[in-house]
Structure formats: structure tokens, C-alpha cells
Amino acid sequence: MDTYDLLIFALGKGPSATSVSASPKVSTHGSKVLVEGMVTDVSPGTKSPALAMRFPNGVPAVADESMSDWMLYVYKQFPRPADVKGVEVIVEVYDPNKNYYEVGRTTTDDSGFFRLTFEPPVPGEYTVIARFPGSKAYYGSFAKTAIYVEEAPLAPAATPTPASMTDTYVLGLGSAAIVAIVVIGLILILMLRKR
């Protein structure tokens, strides 16, 4: 029984909800993907019209150490705590080879928002899972999305740059001049031998 508003509260673990999206939906192998989403508290008390107006994007789930002050803020309209800590989110994938592994961990901010980037190791279709494992205050939740990673385009083969016409003429004239000098030199040598 709460003597502040004469309501009876039941305390226990509450349900959570996780949402996730990834962009770009189609990327090129070697580029990064951004995973983002929200983790919210979806306990029955959060469905009241007053809370829906105050938290149009949902009530953020917070870490256990922030819970007492956060609940006073949410349900009793106490001042918003300045040092609210979010919850940990694990981002995992099923890759095109049907391997399941973790690509990173991140923490939500005081609005329940999280983000993480990773570089898919191989081309193909991926299922991306954002998982909140739960805490003392919340049951866990997860959400899935998908991306596709295309093969990187092959670099075009380098084609040799053709010599300019000026270079061709200069090389041709230079070669002709050298040949002419050699021929004249041979003729002069032969003439001097005959004398």
C-alpha cells in the first residue's frame, strides 16, 4: 500500500521489449552495418494513459542500480535522476554459413536507445538479433532483423596508357637521328681508310 496515492503495488520482475533495425539493408562486403533499437519496460503500469503521454516512445528499461530513483521518477513524478544507467544489449548474428555468434555488446542510454556497428565477415544473408538478457528487475527480450551483404565488385583491370603522339614522334625522330649519325660516322671511317 502506497500512502502517497493510496494505490497497491505488486513488486517483481517486469517484462521488457526489444526492438532492432539494421542499415543499410543491402550493403557491400567490406563495409560496416549499423544496428540500432530500443529496450523498454512493458510492465502493466506503463500502459496507463498518464505514462503513455509522458513516455510516447515507451518507458526505457534501466539498470538495477538506477531502478529505485527511476521508479520514483516514472510513477511518482519525482525529478528525473541525472545518472541513469541503461541495460546491456548483446548483438548476435546468423551468418550465411548458418554460424551463430556475437558481434558486440552495447548499453542503452537513458531513453532506452542503443546502437552498434559491425563489419559482416562474409557476403550473403544475415539474421541480426539484439538480445537483452534480463536483470533482477526485468525478464529478457530479443528482436530480429535481416540484412544482405553483396560481393564487393571486382576492380577493373588496369589498362596501359597509350603513348601520346608527341612521344611517338620524338622517339622516332631521336632514333632516326642516332641511326643517321652512326651511318655518317661509318662512311667517314671508310673514306679515311681508303686514303
* Residue 86 in grid coordinates: 541503461
Determine contact, residues 114/106, Cβ cutoff 8 Å. yes
For residue 154, the model assigns a pLDDT of 72
What is d(CA 27, CA 122) in angstroms, rounded to the nearest whole number? 11
**What domain range is 98 assigned to?**
16-150
Is the four-CA dihedral 184, 185, 190, 195 of positive or negative sign?
positive
For residue 194, the model assigns a pLDDT of 67
Same domain for 169 and 144, yes or no, is no
Determine contact, residues 108/60, Cβ cutoff 8 Å. yes
Task: Report the range of poorest mean pLDDT among 33-42, 77-86, 172-181.
Answer: 172-181
Is 110 contained in some domain? yes
Mean per-residue pLDDT over the chain, rounded: 88
Q: What average pLDDT does the segment 149-170 reach?
A: 72
For residue 157, the model assigns a pLDDT of 65
End-to-end CA distance of the chain: 136
Is 181 contained in some domain? yes
Q: Are strands 88-94 and 59-60 parallel, antiparallel or unpaired?
A: unpaired
Confidence of residue 111 (pLDDT cuts 50, 70, 90): very high
Task: Report the range of poorest mean pLDDT among 4-8, 86-90, 147-151.
Answer: 4-8
